[in-house]
Structure 1
Amino acid sequence: MTKRVGYAPGVYDLFHIGHLNILRRASERCDHLIAGVVSDEMTLMAKGKTPVVPLSERLEIVSHIDFVDEAVAETVPDKLDVWADHPFDVIFKGDDWRGTAKGDRLERKFAKVGVEVFYLPYTAHTSSTHLRSVLGITAS
């Protein structure tokens, strides 16, 4: 039997219950879970701000989560390049991506290589953006 490999990308900054929920739910839907921890540079490019917690520390935190079999730094902007280096069968995204232009693009790209995009419930009441706001942390 072939192992189903899942990939759960995220910045995982200011690690909180939403992150834990995504990783837990993703691990329930695959045999081997890779957590892609988005680098500071890629986060700045995608979100216009850098994480509060440095990449090395975020990797250390995520790699010690019981649900995670492997944690890798995501240092390229195209998820297909990540897939080429760390092949997976399913990519997990928060359901806030479903039906959006970026979610649709992701689905089209991965359909070409046979990778499923699976949406997991997004924890709306807790986010790193909200935590940054409450703590008074401005974009860096």
Structure 2
Amino acid sequence: MSKKNTETVITFGTFDVFHVGHLRLLMRAKSMGAQLIVGVSTDQLNYSKKGRYPVYSESERLEIISALKCVDAVFLEESLEKKRNYILEQNAHILVMGDDWKGKFDDLKDICKIVYLDRTPAISTTEVIEKIRL
């Protein structure tokens, strides 16, 4: 059995107003291992990061992400500072994040491999929300 077939991949995000960029990131993350675990940011964490609450509640976002066939498990991420704890608790081998976070989690290289994926060009939740407002 190859190593990829046994590794657990973990990623984190708000995943508000779910779009194709989110889907592509999750599918690429899943392709790196046997299991994909997703930490979905709580409403409060999103507010502390962005100064606004998500459009969809944390329970709705958990339901959306957990329904995806590429996702094996979900949990609520309450704090950016707990990433190390979450990775260890979930026995993750690989942390995958969008490249907008590039370098921010390199201090975790002692416990897992870190991969920053290119974002899908010309799409973001902020842009989607702005289009809807127009």
> CA offset at residue 46 of structure 1?
1.5
TM-score by length of 2: 0.89
Report the counterpart of residue 93 of structure 1 in structure 2.
Answer: 97
| Residue 47 (structure 1) aligned with residue 89 (structure 2) | no
| TM superposition shift of 1:52 | 0.3
What secondary structure, in the 3-state scheme, does the structure 1 residue paired with 2:62 have?
helix
Please give the residue correspondences for 1:7-26 in structure 2 after superposition, counting only pairs within 5 Å.
7-26=10-29
Distance in 1 of aligned mates of 2:80 and 2:118: 24
Alignment RMSD: 1.6
Partner of 1:128 in structure 2?
A: 125
User: Could you say what secondary structure the match of 2:10 adopts?
Assistant: strand
- Partner residue, 2:105: 106
The Cα shift of 1:124 comes to 2.8
Q: Is the 8 A contact 1:107 1:116 kept in 2?
A: no
Q: State percent identity of aligned pairs.
A: 32
In 2, the alpha carbon distance for the partners of 1:47 and 1:25 equals: 26
Q: Deviations over 1:77-102 (max 9, x none)?
A: 3211222332211111112332xxxx
Structure 1: 5+ residue stretches without partners: none
Residue by residue over 1:104-135, the C-alpha shift from the partner in whole angstroms, topping out at 9 and shown as x without a partner, is x4112x1232x111111201311111111122
Q: Deviations over 1:12-38 (max 9, x none)?
A: 000000000000000000111001111
3-state SS in 1 of match to 2:74: strand
Query: Which of 64, 72, 75 does residue 75 from structure 2 map onto?
Result: 72
Q: Give the letter for the 1:88 counterpart.
A: A
Question: What is the total number of aligned residue pairs between the two structures?
Answer: 130
**SS at 2:56's partner residue?**
coil
Q: Which moved more, 1:15-24 or 1:88-97?
A: 88-97
Counterpart CA distance in 2 for 1:81 and 1:132 is 32
TM-score where L is the length of structure 1: 0.85
